[in-house]
Structure 1
Amino acid sequence: MASRLQQLRSKAVQASEFVSKHGCTYYKELMEENKRHVVQPPTIEKCQELSKQLFYTRLASIPVRYESFWKELDGMKHIWRNRKDIKVEDVGIAALFGLELYAWSCVGEIVGRGFTFTGYYV
């Protein structure tokens, strides 16, 4: 256990050294590449205004998303009504998609518990 802790510490030190050496240049390059997205002047008031615009824009998009939800549901109803015409390939793809969703849910639970399988810290 102590050797693993020492390894973890050495890796953390290496990462910290790398960030301290290259972090500033990475930041400058990133800001230079994305300067078209920066609002001038970058003030707290402007950030608050943009935050409110984003919030209310998302609120305004709810009716459009609501309509698209019902269109998707109508499509599913149509598929269900014509389920005799569904191909085996389509069923297989849907089953794989459902399995993938379930797997992501399981992985999310494991990550949420701190990468433990039992839920208890050892």
Structure 2
Amino acid sequence: MAARLAQLRTKAAQAAEFASKHGGAYYKEAMEKNKQYVVQPPSVEKCQELSKQLFYTRLASLPGRYEALWKEVDGVKQLWKNRKELKVEDLGIATLFGVELYAWFCVGEIAGRGFTLTGYKV
């Protein structure tokens, strides 16, 4: 265990050294590449204004999202009504989608338990 801790410390020191050497250049490059998104002059008031604009813009998009949700639900209802006419390909895609959802649920549960399979940390 002590050897693993020492190895982790060494890796962390190497990562910190790399970041200190190359972090400034990366920052300058990123800022130069994305300067069209920077509001001048940068101030706390402007940040608060932009934050409010983002919040209320997203809030305003909810009715459109709500309508899109119900269109999808109606589409699923129509598919369910005409399920006798479905092709094997469509059923296969739906099955794969369901398996993927189930797998994400299982991965989420495992992550929530701290990446242990039984729930007990060893």
Say yes or no: does 1:83 pair with 2:79. no
Residue type at the aligned position of 2:117 = F
Q: Distance in 2 between matches of 1:111 and 1:9?
A: 24
SS in 2 for 1:50: helix
Q: Distance in 2 between matches of 1:112 and 1:14?
A: 30
1:19-53 deviation digits (Å, cap 9, x = unpaired): 01101110110111111111111111111101100
Q: Distance in 2 between matches of 1:44 and 1:6?
A: 42
Residue type at the aligned position of 1:84 = K
1:14 is aligned to 14
Residue type at the aligned position of 1:113 = R
Structure 2 residues without counterparts, runs of 5 or longer:
none
Q: Displacement of 1:115 after TM fit?
A: 2.1
1:114 is aligned to 114
1:96 is aligned to 96
Which structure 2 residues correspond to residues 13-32 of structure 1 after superposition, within 5 A?
13-32=13-32
Q: Distance in 2 between matches of 1:42 and 1:119?
A: 47
Q: Distance in 1 between matches of 2:13 and 2:39?
A: 36
Say yes or no: does 1:57 pair with 2:52. no
Residue type at the aligned position of 1:69 = L
Say yes or no: does 1:47 pair with 2:68. no
Residue type at the aligned position of 1:58 = R
